[in-house]
Chain A
């Protein structure tokens, strides 16, 4: 094994960095969008309108029971068709896997963030909701001013942990030939026949990123715990 050449990483640096940028961008967009739609889903699941609650629950369970890889491919096929239906174009628009992935991950992660937010909303004592209604606030005001800020705060560590998982899950888009961080290194590895060096590098980068992020989350968790 004496002929390892780690300089290949330096040479491919800009290309790998572009891949990593895509990964980070997709993670950030999916986390923000997922939390937004996840919160709406959680509100729907907890609503007293039976049909709405059932539909939201069905969606969440469907997403959670299906392998992410299947979901990625589903959306890859379906998003162009859906866009065609919405815009009324003659042919499905070609948006490519790179862009459909944003949609996929927002919709997929929304199901997971929904469950987290639901737990967060339920952790707020019922009396607070009652008190807010007694003050004359309406439903959206109660949620926006009283329940959700506390729910977010209580669930922040869990939301961040889920985001770290999302960061890792994003790597699966490389199987649709998208040049994310893993996709970029697969391409370089195959072009330069430097599989060992590049895959080790990718593993180390992910390991360092995720480990330091999860330590930061642990720290945050203990700080929040003291204040409460």
Chain B
């Protein structure tokens, strides 16, 4: 074990190995952040339509969730990265105009975003269904439209209920960014392997990466707990304190 390796210069570059790992972390966090936003947005829409009374919307939402949940993430990466441009000429046209790293970044965000959205949709749905039926009816009785009932009555409570499962989905998302290595995105795991292969310091490289992943997962966890206690409605959801 030799920690000095992290402060040594890389061959043919001005960076140290530590800086290279951190540049990988930068991509990891970028992908995680944008994929989370996409997943939250898409997951909320799909989760909501699965609780409406329109049969076809419910079916559509169910199909969406099953589609993204029953194909391994790695295969989904291949589909987004190789198959989509291969099948749709317009996508191919656009992809060719991109820088390869940009293409990988966009692919990773879309793939992880939609993959995670299916999980978030499941949580949003169960959050809404966990609310007493009377809340929806009370909303309608006040003269709110269905959209308003969701916006002002159901969703604010449902989101608060699902923060704990949402936290574990967020942590999974951060871990899953490592699969973007398969399409060659230079994220943290890619950089870790690269460092191991060039320096033969596999142990140091992997230990550093493991530590970084654990720390960012823990930070994400803390942030979610903080949000949970900030937005808690007094007297409604007990925080177990």
Chain A interface (Cβ < 8 Å from any Cβ of B): 1, 62, 65-70, 73-74, 77, 168-169, 171-172, 174-175, 182, 186, 195-196, 199-200, 202-203, 206-207, 210-211, 214
Contacts and interface: CB of A to CB of B under 8 A. Distances in A.
Interface residues of B, number: 37
Interface of B: 66-67, 69-76, 78-79, 82-83, 86-87, 89, 171, 175-179, 181-182, 189, 192-193, 202-203, 206, 209-210, 213-214, 217-218
B207 to A, nearest CB: 9
Contact of A168 (B73, B203, B206): B73
A65 B202 CA distance: 20
A206 B76 CA distance: 11
Nearest to B70: A210
Given A77-B202, A172-B179, A196-B82, A203 B75 contact: yes
Given A67-B175, A70-B209, A169 B86 contact: no
B80 to A, nearest CB: 10
Contact of A206 (B72, B83, B182, B189): B72
A30 B181 CA distance: 24
The residue among B75, B192, B203 with the most chain A CB atoms within 10 A of its own CB is B75
Given A66-B175, A77-B203, A207-B67, A174 B210 contact: no
B70 A175 contact: no
A144 to B, nearest CB: 32
Contacts, number: 93
A94 to B, nearest CB: 16
Contacts of B192: 70
A70 B213 contact: yes
B191 to A, nearest CB: 12
Given A171-B75, A211-B66, A214-B70, A66 B189 contact: no
Contact of B213 (A66, A77, A196, A214): A66
A202 B77 CA distance: 12
Contacts of A77: 202-203, 206
Contact of A199 (B70, B78, B217): B78
A171 B72 contact: yes
Kindly list the 3 A-B residue pairs having the minimum CB-CB distance in the complex, ordered from nearest. Answer: A210-B70, A168-B72, A67-B175
A199 B213 contact: no
A67 B176 contact: yes
A68 B179 CA distance: 9
B74 A175 contact: yes
B75 A202 contact: yes
28 contacts: A62-B214, A65-B171, A67-B176, A70-B178, A70-B209, A70-B213, A74-B206, A77-B202, A168-B71, A175-B182, A182-B75, A195-B78, A195-B82, A195-B83, A195-B86, A196-B82, A196-B83, A196-B86, A196-B87, A199-B83, A203-B71, A203-B79, A206-B75, A207-B67, A207-B71, A210-B71, A211-B66, A211-B70
A210 B218 CA distance: 31
A161 to B, nearest CB: 10
B170 to A, nearest CB: 13
A77 B204 CA distance: 12
Given A70-B209, A70-B210, A199-B78, 10 more contacts: A67-B175, A171-B72, A172-B179, A175-B181, A182-B72, A186-B78, A195-B83, A200-B79, A206-B75, A207-B70
B66 to A, nearest CB: 6
A171 B176 contact: no
B79 A70 contact: no
Contacts of B217: 65
